[in-house]
Amino acid sequence: METQNPETLYNRLGGARGIEALVDDIIERHMTNPAVKSRFLPIKDDSVHFSEVRKNLIEFLASGTGGPERYTGKDMPAAHRGMNISEGEYMHVIDDIMAAMDKHHMDEQTKKDVLFIAYSLKETMVNL
């Protein structure tokens, strides 16, 4: 029988502080990943906009994994429409998320849970 971790995904990600650190790492990886950096580097040019996107990413991950935070950003199609994101770019973004989780010593089940959520959102972002 499979054993289930009773902790919420939010707690396994380290709660508010863990998620904040994870998102900073993910952003850093997107900014240097040759396959997607051209998408993300321009956000850095406007520090107010950068802070807003960073805050929205933290809220999105926190509220979507069972935390008390409320997501106040755009919905996924609205946030990504017009970018024509490819399947390949999507996989690179997922790879960056998994690499950041490895760096933060997150376990395999926690990585699988995040992967499942990320993958289930794919159709709301690619080729729009």
Q: Which residue is nearest to ligand HEM (CB)?
A: 73
Which of 57, 100, 101, 106 contacts ligand HEM by CB under 6 A? Answer: 57
Buried b (16+ CB within 10 A) or exposed e, 9-32: bbebbeeeebbbbbbebbbebbee
60 interacts with ligand HEM by CB under 6 A: yes
26 binds ligand HEM (CB under 6 A): no
Nearer to ligand HEM, 11 or 56 (CB): 56
The total of other beta-carbon atoms located within 10 Å of residue 96's CB is 22
Comparison of 3 and 47: residue with beta carbon closer to ligand HEM:
47
Burial of 71 (0-12, 13-18, 19+ CB in 10 A): middle
Listed ranges 6-14, 15-23, 71-79, 105-113: which one lies at the site for ligand HEM (CB under 6 A)? 71-79
Locus of tokens 């850093």: 28
